[in-house]
């Protein structure tokens, strides 16, 4: 039996997927837990306007990131995952390194010109943060593409720990405020990558400066260039709201909104755990004969998982929000539920996007993203002046609904999903949960509703899924005895 034959077995695919989820869970939950803990710290030691400005700078960095990395984080992972030849791996990693040096040098030059011609607060810190983000994002995916998921996870955990330690030292201990937040994020990200690379030496071993890169560079750029306009549109649909808030409202309001985004980002993080594990499995199993059945099973399970995650998380957060967040940020609780729902819809969009990656057909991602970005800008422009933050939130929900509808029909060229009728139950529970979230008079009723809602979702998922879940719980309990 060949390796591919074995990978096509449902049991083998399932065990690999669960193993990958475990690995990515350790990295993502461990790293994001520190980030989660930092939110209360920042809200107590950083003014709302300063935190709003920092969030705006992060937004700009994420806008520039794909252009100064040429989306090599996606290209490196995708091409390394398919590669079985060590010489070809060296070509890919070397091309990534050469390109990163060139583009980040260009970023430094542009920053120097801006510093001489304009006055932008913390411009040097913004450049350093952009460089740190770029290096971490790209080389973490290189580790992952080379098959060293532990190195990938270690970078995330170490950078998060570093952010926590340096934030306490700089913001609390030294009282550096927003400058301390910048420095903590910059130093921690670079230091984490240096520590991991010093241990595994993957980048060093796979870099050869005198190697011929013409063919591999052309193929990677052909794959990544169509992703650049798409990344701009993704930024418009997901992050441009900060610019609208800062322009039409204020940095203080953006600071409050940024706290809500940080908390709902936990939902996105947990969805990313599934996505990263699913990304490898989907690519490797895309050509299997039972692809449609396998993808359908994963999609239906994903809906149940997302529904339970949203309901459980937002109600637990609501019960504890009073002590987690400083008084001047308490208003952000009102934005948690709809922003959490947006995160769930976006996670479904990401599931559909897998078809383009599997088929290396990245050009087809553009029409839907362009449409969504146009809808986002138009609605934001009109609704933010009319409804304030709620206009931004409504715009985000509508944008992602447009995108998920388009993707639902377009992805059928890659795989056909059969939606289980039972999926209607968790969807209905999620929609109805908004009522007690906003109108429940006390925390005990919030907890009671959460338990009932999760029980309904668990009951509706079916005997097979419940049996699998119980077996996992029993194994976990037996190991702890």
One digit per residue, the tens of pLDDT, for the chain of length 481 reads 333 444 444 445 545 555 555 555 555 555 566 666 677 777 778 777 787 788 788 888 888 888 888 888 888 887 887 777 788 888 888 888 888 898 888 888 988 888 888 877 888 888 899 999 999 888 988 888 888 888 888 888 888 889 889 989 998 888 888 888 899 989 999 999 999 999 888 888 888 887 777 778 888 888 888 778 767 766 776 667 777 887 777 777 777 887 887 788 778 777 777 776 676 677 777 777 777 888 888 888 888 888 998 999 899 988 888 877 777 778 888 888 999 998 898 888 888 877 777 776 767 777 887 888 888 888 988 888 888 888 888 998 998 899 889 888 888 888 788 888 888 999 999 999 999 999 888 888 989 999 999 989 888 876 655 555 555 445 444 444 4
Sign of CA dihedral 368, 371, 375, 376: positive
Six-digit token string for 94: 């070397």
Give the pLDDT of residue 147: 81
Q: Could you tell me which residues come within 8 angstroms of residue 430 by beta carbon, excluding any fewer than 6 positions away?
A: 307, 310, 311, 341, 344
Determine the 3-state secondary structure of 148 from DSSP.
Answer: coil
Q: What is the reported pLDDT for 464?
A: 59
| Cα dihedral value 348, 310, 425, 391, nearest 10 | -70
Pick the closest to residue 207 from 79, 73, 86 (CA basis).
86
Q: How far apart are CA 36 and CA 157, in angstroms?
A: 13
At 26 the pLDDT is 57
Alpha-carbon distance 345 to 305, whole Å? 13
Residue 32 has a pLDDT of 60
Token pair of 53, please? 């400005």
Dihedral (Cα; 424, 428, 430, 431), 10-degree rounding: 140
Q: Cβ–Cβ contacts within 10 Å for residue 10, how many? A: 13
pLDDT, the chain, mean: 80
As a whole number of angstroms, the distance between CA 135 and CA 72 comes to 10
What tokens does 173 get?
């201990």
Closest CA to 141 of 196, 78, 185: 78
Return the closest-CA partner of residue 167 out of 154, 155, 185: 185
User: Which residue in the block uniquely carries the two structure tokens 């009109």?
Assistant: 382
How confident is the model at residue 323, as a pLDDT? 78
pTM here is 0.67
pLDDT in the model for residue 183: 93
Q: Return the structure tokens found at 339.
A: 């922003």
Is the Cβ–Cβ distance between 20 and 277 less than 8 Å? yes
CA gap 328, 352 in Å, rounded? 39
pLDDT for the residue 191:
93
Write down the number of H helices and E strands in the chain: 21, 0
Closest by CA to 338, choosing from 403, 269, 267, is: 267
- Residue count of the chain: 481
Q: Which sign, positive or negative, has the C-alpha torsion 173, 175, 177, 179?
A: negative
């Amino acid at each position: 039996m060949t390796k591919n034959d074995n990978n096509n077995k449902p049991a083998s695919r399932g065990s690999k997927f669960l193993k990958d989820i475990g690995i990515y869970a350790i990295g993502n939950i461990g790293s994001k837990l520190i980030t989660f803990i930092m939110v209360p710290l920042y809200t107590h030691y950083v003014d709302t306007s300063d935190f709003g400005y920092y969030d705006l700078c992060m937004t700009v960095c994420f806008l520039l990131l794909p252009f100064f990395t040429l989306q090599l984080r996606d290209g490196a992972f995708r091409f390394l995952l398919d590669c079985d030849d060590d010489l070809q791996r060296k070509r890919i990693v070397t091309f990534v390194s050469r390109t990163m040096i060139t583009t980040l040098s260009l970023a430094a030059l542009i920053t120097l010109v801006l510093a001489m011609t304009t006055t932008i607060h913390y411009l040097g810190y913004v450049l350093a943060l952009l460089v740190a983000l770029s290096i971490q994002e790209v080389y973490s995916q290189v580790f992952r593409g080379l098959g060293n998921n532990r190195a990938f996870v270690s970078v995330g955990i170490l950078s998060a720990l570093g952010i926590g330690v340096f934030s306490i030292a700089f913001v609390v201990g030294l009282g550096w405020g927003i400058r301390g937040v910048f420095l903590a994020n910059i130093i921690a990200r670079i230091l984490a990558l240096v520590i991991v690379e010093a241990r595994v030496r993957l980048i060093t071993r796979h870099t050869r400066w005198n190697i011929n890169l013409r063919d591999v560079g052309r193929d990677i750029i052909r794959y990544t260039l169509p992703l650049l306009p798409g990344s701009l549109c993704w930024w418009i649909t997901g992050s441009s709201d900060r610019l609208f808030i800062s322009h039409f409202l204020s940095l203080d309001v953006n600071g409050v909104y940024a706290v809500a985004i940080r908390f709902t980002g936990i939902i996105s993080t947990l969805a990313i755990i599934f996505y990263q594990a699913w990304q490898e499995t989907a690519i490797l199993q895309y050509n299997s004969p039972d692809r449609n059945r396998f993808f359908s099973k994963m999609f239906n399970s994903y809906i149940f998982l997302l529904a339970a995650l949203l309901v459980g998380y937002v109600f637990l957060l609501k019960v504890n929000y009073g002590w987690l967040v400083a008084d001047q940020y308490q208003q952000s609780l009102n934005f948690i539920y709809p922003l959490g729902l947006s995160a769930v819809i976006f996670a479904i969009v990401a599931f559909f996007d897998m078809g383009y990656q599997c088929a290396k057909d990245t050009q087809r991602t553009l029409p839907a993203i362009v449409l969504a970005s146009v809808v986002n800008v138009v609605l934001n422009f009109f609704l933010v002046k009319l409804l304030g933050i709620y206009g931004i939130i409504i715009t985000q929900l509508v944008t992602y609904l447009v995108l998920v509808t388009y993707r639902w029909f377009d992805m059928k060229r890659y795989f056909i999903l059969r939606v289980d009728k039972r999926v209607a139950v968790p969807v209905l529970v999620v929609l109805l949960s908004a009522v007690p979230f906003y109108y429940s008079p006390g925390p005990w009723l919030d907890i009671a509703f959460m338990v009932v809602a999760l029980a309904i979702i668990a009951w509706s998922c079916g005997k097979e899924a419940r049996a699998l879940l119980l077996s996992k719980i029993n194994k976990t309990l037996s190991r702890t005895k």
